Chains A and B, each alone.
Chain A
Amino acid sequence: MSTNSEPTPPIGTGPLAKREAQLAWGLLLPTIAIVSAVVVLPLLSIFWISFKPIGLADLRPPAPVVREALRGSDDNLRIEYRLRNSSQDQAISGVTLSDTIPDGLTVTDGADIAPCVVNGRRLLCDFGDLEPGFRTRINIPVQLTGDEDAVKDAISGSEPDITGSSNSILTNFEFTGENFARVFDGREFWTVLWVTMFYTVFGTIGALVFGLFAALLLNKEFKGQGVLRGLYLFPYVAPVIAVAFAWVILFDPFSGSANALLVQMGVTNEAINFFGERPLALIMVTVFEIWRYFPLSFLFILARMQSIDTDMYEAADMDGASPFQKFWYLSVPQLLGILSVLFLLRFIWTFNKFDDIFLLTGGNAGTRTLTVNVYEQAFAVSNIGAGAAVAVVIFCCLLIFSYFFFRFMSREEGL
Chain B
Amino acid sequence: MNALRFGYIAGPLIGALWSFVIAVVVCIAVSFISGEGVRPVLLPSLLFGAWLGFAWLPDGGRARGQRIGMNVVTAAIPALAFLFIATPIVGSGESRQSTVILAWALYAAAAFWGTLVMIRPLPFGRATRHEFEDAVIRFLTGFGYIFFTAIVAIPFYVMVMTSLKNQAELLQNPLDFTIDLSKGWGLFRSYEELFTEFSFGRYMWTSFYVSVITVFLTLLFSVPGAYAVARLRFKGRAAFSRSILLIYMVPMIVLALPIYIAFSMTGLRNTIVGLVLIYPVTTIPVALYMLQGYFRGLPAEVEDAGLMDGLNRLQVIWKITLPLALPALASVSLYVFMIAWNEFLLAFMLLDDPSIFTLTRGIASLDSSEIPRQHLMAGSVIATVPIMVLFLGLERFMTKGLTAGSVKG
Interface residues, chain A, with chain B CB atoms under 8 Å away: 17, 20-21, 23-25, 27-28, 30-31, 34-35, 38-39, 41-43, 45-46, 49, 59-61, 170, 210, 213-214, 216-217, 226, 228-235, 237-243, 245-247, 249-250, 252, 255-257, 259-261, 264-266, 291, 299-300, 303-304, 322-324, 337-338, 341-342, 345, 348-349, 351-355, 358-359, 371, 374-375, 378, 384, 387-388, 391, 394-395, 398, 401-402, 405-406, 412-413, 415
Contact = CB atoms under 8 A, between A and B. Distances in A.
Nearest to A291: B151
B384 A232 contact: no
Contacts of A250: 154-155, 158
Contacts of B39: 264-266
B342 A240 contact: yes
Interface of A is mostly: helix
B85 interface: no
B235 interface: yes
A39 B154 contact: no
Contact of B258 (A42, A210, A240): A42
B261 A170 contact: yes
Highest count of chain A CB atoms <10 Å: which of B257, B364, B407 = B257
Contact of A388 (B224, B257, B391, B392): B257
Given A34-B280, A228-B149, A265 B407 contact: no
Contacts of A337: 409
Given A214-B148, A354-B252, A238 B376 contact: no
A42 B255 CA distance: 6
A346 to B, nearest CB: 11
Nearest to B227: A27
Contact of A342 (B134, B242, B285, B407): B407
Interface of B: 27-28, 31-32, 37-40, 92-93, 129-130, 133-134, 137, 141, 144-145, 148-149, 151-156, 158-159, 162, 170-171, 173-175, 177, 220-222, 224-225, 227-229, 232-235, 237-238, 240-242, 245-247, 249-255, 257-259, 261-262, 264-265, 277-278, 280-281, 284-285, 288, 313, 338, 341-342, 344-345, 359-360, 363-364, 367, 373, 376-377, 379-381, 383-384, 387-388, 391-392, 395, 398-399, 402-404, 407-409
B130 A322 contact: yes
Contacts of B162: 249
A359 B170 CA distance: 22
A226 B162 CA distance: 28
Nearest to A61: B265
Contacts of B171: 255
Interface of B is mostly: helix
Contacts of A413: 408-409
Contact of B225 (A31, A255, A358, A359): A31
A62 to B, nearest CB: 13
A394 B251 contact: yes
A13 B19 CA distance: 73
B387 A415 contact: no
A34 B254 CA distance: 18
A300 B401 CA distance: 11
Given A232-B152, A241-B363, A245-B363, A30 B224 contact: yes
